[in-house]
């Protein structure tokens, strides 16, 4: 099947064409001021009560009333727990940190598990720093490095000064700057016609964008055009920065290299950052609290999502308990598909609900997710096939939906992609998936139940 593709039909890689398992989920899909869930919305089908509950959680996070608490999404596999957590993050927007991990991620040979948990806790706590700074801001209309003989002799010349002219709506200003700023300017790739600001105290340079006077119709570059700044070149400007506590930890753990050659060598020889220690974190917490008290910074508690939480062991759960008590704590969303089971690493304790110790269970708000009705499964399958850009014949849709019902939703959804390949190989018009393709796939790929039956009848693989 050698199809020719007319060039005009080649589309760029839009989001639709990427297929991650949850790419059809765009939000919780709640309506109105009271946040009711319709039967479907935001790519979500059914599960209305859980969606409404998650909507409340979103409201609480936005009102900053949710830090130090934890929510557990509990329900069978394929009932949309992970999808709900992702929808919560989409509802919160990009300014609220969302840190998703899987329980098993904390076990690594190099890092202690409590350390790994701590790091993720701090990734989920944001800080919005507002600072009024004295800056020079404008469009660069002149950028001339002034050279001089190297004062130490030898070859080459050094830059003695940088002449830069900035233009704003109210006038222009010519600045004579220290050569160290020249490096910063080169790092930000500033050219003539860019809008930049230079912090008066630190000399830090930030490129805001390209002046819109230079905007042309046929610019292929991904460039952000900004208007020429209002007001004077020399002024006070409020600068807002969003960082997470983990960003601060990392930034402060890195060896503070200066401009001189020795410290540069030091950085080359010791590329590993120094460790983030408990002491460093305490210090950072202190500074952060001071900023918050002074009104310089706002705490933005975000969300830490721990999927498959039954993979955590007693030690990790104890740590979770303690971390939730701390004043700097995010909302923690846990998800588990286990019922009554042993806590990992504690086979001697009696089984506990969801594999979570009872003292943590007592703190949790538990949101149950329920199995889907056949109609809901059908609707999810067709939403999903639309997202993957696949066409299903009605009989094929019925077949996949019934597999989703009898076996599992995930198994049904997973057959979509291979079935579409069979449909393409068959060279059918428009690649429509027929019921035969699905049946063939069902024969090719076992589900867990049939695979287990297989094993039982062949007495296992290793003789």
Nearer to ligand ADP, 85 or 288 (CB): 85
414 contributes a contact to Mg ion by CB under 5 A: no
In this chain, which of 27, 55, 78, 302 binds ligand ADP, going by CB under 6 A? 78
Tokens (6 digits) for 46: 């059914």
26 contributes a contact to ligand ADP by CB under 6 A: no
Nearer to Mg ion, 24 or 122 (CB): 24
Taking the C-alpha atoms of residue 87 and residue 132, their distance in angstroms, rounded to an integer, is 35
Nearer to ligand ADP, 92 or 177 (CB): 92
Binding segment for ligand ADP (CB under 6 A), chosen from 45-53, 112-120, 131-139, 439-447, is 45-53
103 contributes a contact to ligand ADP by CB under 6 A: no
In this chain, which of 45, 70, 92, 334 binds ligand ADP, going by CB under 6 A? 45
401 contributes a contact to ligand ADP by CB under 6 A: no
Spatial contact of 127 and 240, defined as CB atoms under 8 Å apart:
no
* Distance set, CA 94 to CA 215, 306, 316, 438 (Å): 28, 19, 28, 39
In this chain, which of 77, 93, 345, 449 binds ligand ADP, going by CB under 6 A? 77
Spatial contact of 167 and 149, defined as CB atoms under 8 Å apart:
no
Half-sphere exposure of 382 (CA within 13 A, CB side): 14
Please, what is the Cα angle at 32 between 30 and 36, to 5 degrees?
Answer: 50
Q: How many residues bind ligand ADP (CB under 6 A)?
A: 22
Taking the C-alpha atoms of residue 233 and residue 373, their distance in angstroms, rounded to an integer, is 64
Binding segment for ligand ADP (CB under 6 A), chosen from 77-85, 129-137, 210-218, 438-446, is 77-85
47 contributes a contact to Mg ion by CB under 5 A: no
386 contributes a contact to ligand ADP by CB under 6 A: no
Tokens (6 digits) for 386: 């639309």
90 contributes a contact to ligand ADP by CB under 6 A: no
Residue of minimal CB distance from ligand ADP?
80
Minimum distance, C-beta of residue 15 to ligand ADP, in the bound complex (Å): 15
Taking the C-alpha atoms of residue 182 and residue 162, their distance in angstroms, rounded to an integer, is 7
In this chain, which of 47, 82, 89, 211 binds Mg ion, going by CB under 5 A? 82
In this chain, which of 27, 30, 47, 69 binds ligand ADP, going by CB under 6 A? 47
Please, what is the Cα angle at 327 between 325 and 332, to 5 degrees?
Answer: 60
46 contributes a contact to ligand ADP by CB under 6 A: yes
378-394 per-residue burial string, b: 16 or more CB within 10 A, e: under 16:
bbbbbbbbebbebbbbe
50 contributes a contact to ligand ADP by CB under 6 A: no
Q: Which of 401, 373, 407, 403 is nearest to 385 (CA)?
A: 401
Length of the chain: 463
Binding segment for Mg ion (CB under 5 A), chosen from 79-87, 188-196, 290-298, 377-385, is 79-87
Count the Cβ atoms, other than its own, within 10 Å of residue 288. 19
Nearer to ligand ADP, 79 or 244 (CB): 79
Taking the C-alpha atoms of residue 377 and residue 13, their distance in angstroms, rounded to an integer, is 29
> Residues interacting with Mg ion, by CB under 5 A?
82
> Residues interacting with ligand ADP, by CB under 6 A?
21-22, 25, 43-47, 75, 77-83, 337, 380, 383, 409-410, 413
């Amino acid at each position: 099947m050698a199809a020719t593709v007319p060039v005009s039909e080649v589309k760029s890689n839009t989001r639709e064409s990427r297929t991650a398992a949850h790419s059809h989920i765009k939000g919780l899909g709640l309506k109105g001021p009271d946040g009711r869930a319709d039967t479907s919305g935001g790519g979500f089908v059914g599960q209305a009560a859980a969606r409404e509950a998650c909507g409340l959680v979103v409201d609480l996070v936005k009102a900053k009333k949710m830090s130090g608490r934890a929510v557990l999404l509990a329900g069978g596999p394929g009932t949309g727990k992970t999808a709900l957590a992702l929808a919560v993050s989409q509802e919160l927007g990009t300014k609220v940190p969302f840190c998703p991990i899987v329980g098993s991620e904390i076990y690594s040979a190099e890092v202690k598990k409590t350390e790994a948990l701590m790091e993720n806790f701090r990734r989920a706590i944001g800080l919005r720093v507002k600072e009024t700074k004295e800056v020079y801001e404008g469009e660069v209309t002149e950028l001339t490095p002034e050279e001089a003989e190297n004062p130490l002799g030898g070859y080459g010349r050094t830059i003695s000064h940088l002449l830069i002219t900035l233009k704003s709506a109210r006038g222009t200003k010519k600045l004579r700057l220290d050569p160290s700023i020249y490096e910063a300017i080169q790092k930000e790739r500033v050219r003539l016609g860019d809008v930049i600001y230079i912090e008066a105290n630190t000399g830090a340079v930030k490129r805001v964008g390209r002046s819109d006077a230079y905007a042309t119709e046929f610019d292929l570059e991904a460039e952000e055009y900004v208007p020429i700044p209002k007001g004077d070149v020399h002024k006070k400007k409020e600068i807002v920065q969003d960082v997470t506590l983990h960003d601060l930890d990392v930034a402060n753990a890195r060896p503070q290299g200066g401009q001189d050659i020795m410290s540069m060598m030091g950085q080359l020889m010791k590329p590993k950052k120094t460790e983030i220690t408990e002491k460093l974190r305490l210090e950072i917490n202190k500074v952060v609290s001071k900023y918050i008290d002074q009104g310089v910074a706002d705490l933005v508690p975000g969300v830490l999502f721990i999927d498959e939480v039954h993979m955590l062991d007693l030690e990790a759960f104890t740590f979770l308990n303690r971390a939730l008590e701390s004043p700097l704590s995010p909302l923690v969303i846990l998800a588990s598909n286990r019922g009554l089971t042993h806590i990992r690493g504690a086979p001697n304790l009696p089984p506990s609900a969801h594999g979570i110790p009872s003292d943590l269970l007592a703190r949790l708000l538990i949101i149950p997710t329920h199995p889907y009705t056949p109609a809901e499964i059908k609707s999810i399958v067709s939403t999903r096939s639309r997202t993957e850009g696949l066409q299903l014949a009605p009989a094929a849709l019925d077949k996949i939906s019934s597999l989703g019902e009898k076996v599992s939703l995930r198994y049904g959804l997973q057959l979509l992609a291979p079935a579409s390949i069979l449909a393409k190989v068959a060279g059918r018009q428009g690649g429509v998936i027929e019921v035969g393709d699905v049946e063939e796939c069902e024969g090719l790929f076992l589900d867990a139940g049939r695979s287990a039956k297989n094993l039982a009848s062949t007495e296992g693989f290793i003789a």
